[in-house]
Structure 1
Amino acid sequence: MGTSQFDQLTGDFLRAVRAAGGGLTAVCGACVRVLPVRRAAIVLHEIDAGMQPWCASDDFADLVEKAQATAGEGPAVAALAQGIPVVVTDFGSECERWPGFAEALAGKPISGSMFAVPLRLGPIPLGAVDMYRDTVGRPSPRLLSAALHIADLVTASLVLASGEAAQQWAQPLSSQWIHQAATMTSTQLGVDIADAYARLRAYAFINGLSLAEVSRRVVARNLRIESV
């Protein structure tokens, strides 16, 4: 893509975000508006908790992102670790690279393809933008180039958010549950916080639940993670 095309993409993206009122939901929607993708999600790296979904444009993307968060592995995790986009050309055959992720998606009505683009501020890992297509196969070099530019715009939005804008990027309730549940489990079992997150994730994985759902039950005191 040439400079003029990047400028056009930037303008289209910013206008789409403003038209939707700003904030995470608007950013996810803008990705879908300006790129030939069906859906999008933003996941952010949280200390100890790992990659957590902060926004998904629809239930399909939300399902996949919760599977990544529960398994602690997947394309977004790999993209952030490697610093390059990671592509899943076919949900039906390529998720086996991450056994836990594949297991968390087993039996779910998932099809098509996706690619994860890392969000980094210099050497600082922030998260990833995950983009989904209904068709299988690799995205074209042109689409990947455009997606990398959009990821830069998302990163800039994260860094520059302040005041009212910062409230629109506030930590989602599911993420708040996870951190609160980890703190409760750490206190109850006398383990460090990293171990508490691991136990929550293990319970979720073994019982076929999302990490967010397990954490919600712990916070509501409907579930207690037992020492093993």
Structure 2
Amino acid sequence: MSGEAKWNEAFADLAEVLVSDFDLADLLHRLADASMRVCGAAGAGIVVADQTGRLRDIVYSSEGIRRLERIQLDTGEGPCVLCYRSGQAVQEPDIASLAERWPRFAAAASGLGIHSANAVPLRLRGRTVGALNLFHPRPGVAESAALRAVQALADLAMLGIVQHSHAGAPPESVPVQVRNALLERSQIERAKGILAEQGSLSMDEAFERLRHYALLHGAGLTQAAEALNTSPASAESVLSATAP
């Protein structure tokens, strides 16, 4: 598939969510997936600032990426922190060269087979509220057109959040709405744990099964997670419906 075709598909996928009655978890996971396809990234993560200004990981493509994001947030090292603080896109073409500047991040990334990274800001009403991170298995500079497309995807998602907010709500409520996705994430994590335990799955496998089940039933990701958390016995139905 050509680069242009990948970008068109990514925008169409995100737009499909935006024209529906989406929940934030669905939207942000679709944003991460679409951005990975556009850039050919091996992993992606999204961080947002909570109401105290502390960065929190909210979306990650795998448990390995989640650990890498946590290291960035715990140590203050890495592209997502720099991107959020500066409000500018960050490109790190050779993570090995960052061993002195960001020693813990560089070591963790190398251990996961990640050798370059990009980050683009998540912007709402002129404010940077978080960052989208993309991780690559090889060193090198990402294609500038692809990064512009990723920034456009991020901006489109943020515009969708503005539109999705309650009519007449003050500007301060929009970042609060983004941060509400932290609560949605906790529901998703609980549901993943139930599926992982009952189905003898990894957390990554459990998440894919939960997502698949939500799609099969036309439900939001958070809605599917809440239903499972309310009735853990229904895990067997989820596992049966999504069996490979």
TM-score computed with the length of structure 2 as normaliser? 0.56
Aligned to 2:186: 173
**CA 1:7–1:32 in structure 2 vs 1: closer, same or farther (change >3 Å)?**
closer
Aligned to 2:112: 109
Aligned to 1:129: 132
Aligned to 1:68: 72
Task: For 1:79 and 1:113, locate their aligned partners in 2 and report how far apart those are by CA, in whole Å.
Answer: 15
Q: 3-state DSSP class of the match of 1:96?
A: coil
Say if 2:11 is the partner of 1:10: yes
Which of 150, 154, 165 is matched with 2:153 structurally? 150
State the identity as a percent.
Answer: 26
Task: For 1:107 and 1:86, locate their aligned partners in 2 and report how far apart those are by CA, in whole Å.
Answer: 18
Task: For 2:101 and 2:158, locate their aligned partners in 1 and report how far apart those are by CA, in whole Å.
Answer: 27
1:1-228 mapped onto 2 (5 Å cutoff):
10-15=11-16, 22-48=26-52, 50-99=54-103, 101-102=105-106, 105=108, 108-162=111-165, 169-171=181-183, 172-173=185-186
Greater share of residues in helix = 2
Q: Which runs of 5+ in 1 are unaligned?
A: 175-228
Q: Contact 1:79–1:118 (CA<8 Å) still a contact in 2?
A: yes
Q: 3-state DSSP class of the match of 2:111?
A: coil
Q: Contact 1:112–1:135 (CA<8 Å) still a contact in 2?
A: yes
Task: For 2:165 and 2:114, locate their aligned partners in 1 and report how far apart those are by CA, in whole Å.
Answer: 38
Shift of residue 42, structure 1, vs aligned partner: 0.8
**CA 1:51–1:167 in structure 2 vs 1: closer, same or farther (change >3 Å)?**
closer
Shift of residue 144, structure 1, vs aligned partner: 1.5
Q: Describe the superposition over 1:104-163 as per-residue Cα deviations: whole angstroms up to 9, x where unpaired.
A: x38833422110101122432210010112221111111121111112123223333459
Task: For 1:96 and 1:13, locate their aligned partners in 2 and report how far apart those are by CA, in whole Å.
Answer: 38
Task: For 2:157 and 2:135, locate their aligned partners in 1 and report how far apart those are by CA, in whole Å.
Answer: 17
Shift of residue 71, structure 1, vs aligned partner: 0.9
Task: For 1:94 and 1:16, locate their aligned partners in 2 and report how far apart those are by CA, in whole Å.
Answer: 37
Q: 3-state DSSP class of the match of 2:96?
A: coil
The count of aligned residue pairs is 170
